[in-house]
Amino acid sequence: MKVFYSVAVGVGAFFALNCGSGDEGTGYPAAQSGAPAAAPTGAAESKPTVTSDVVEVKVTGHDFDPPEVHIKANQSVRWVWVSGSHNVISGAACTPDGLFSSGGTDVAPTTFEHKFEKTGSFPFYCDPHCGVGMKGKVTVD
């Protein structure tokens, strides 16, 4: 019984330290390539912040906001930690592909920026939270 309680307390401590807090929204509209998609009725519209050639994605709770962005070749994406302990790793299915990585898990306020020079689809995820669906994608036209 002591082992069970030790494991339960350990798992609880892990999530308390690593999951962060923040807005646990119900989801975001699909990414757009031009005009923003309509937000669900009653929900706030979510769209990336664009500063010259940089598009920002907020890292908060267990979500990337927005989870998908469309950019042009030679533009950059800047991930901005708003809350919690996270990282950004390139790859699909929670498997790194080595294209980019923010490194170890960091807490807010932190940023990570990557310039995309080639066209294509580039999935990414947060390593500690990939299993709970913290994933996104950059599409470069």
What pLDDT is attached to residue 48? Answer: 61
CATH number of 2-21+47-140: 2.60.40.420
Global pTM reads: 0.67
From CA 138, how far away is CA 140, in angstroms rounded? 6
For residue 24, what pLDDT is reported? 35
**Residue 41: both structure tokens together:** 């009725």
**Total residues found in the chain within this entry:** 141
- Let me know: does 125 contact 101? Beta carbons within 8 Å: no
How far is residue 28's CA from residue 58's CA, in Å, rounded to a whole number?
12
Which of 45, 49, 94 is closest to 76 using CA atoms?
49
Q: Report pLDDT digits (tens) over 21-75.
A: 333 333 333 333 333 333 333 334 456 665 679 999 999 999 999 999 999 999 9
Q: How far apart are CA 33 and CA 1, in angstroms?
A: 55
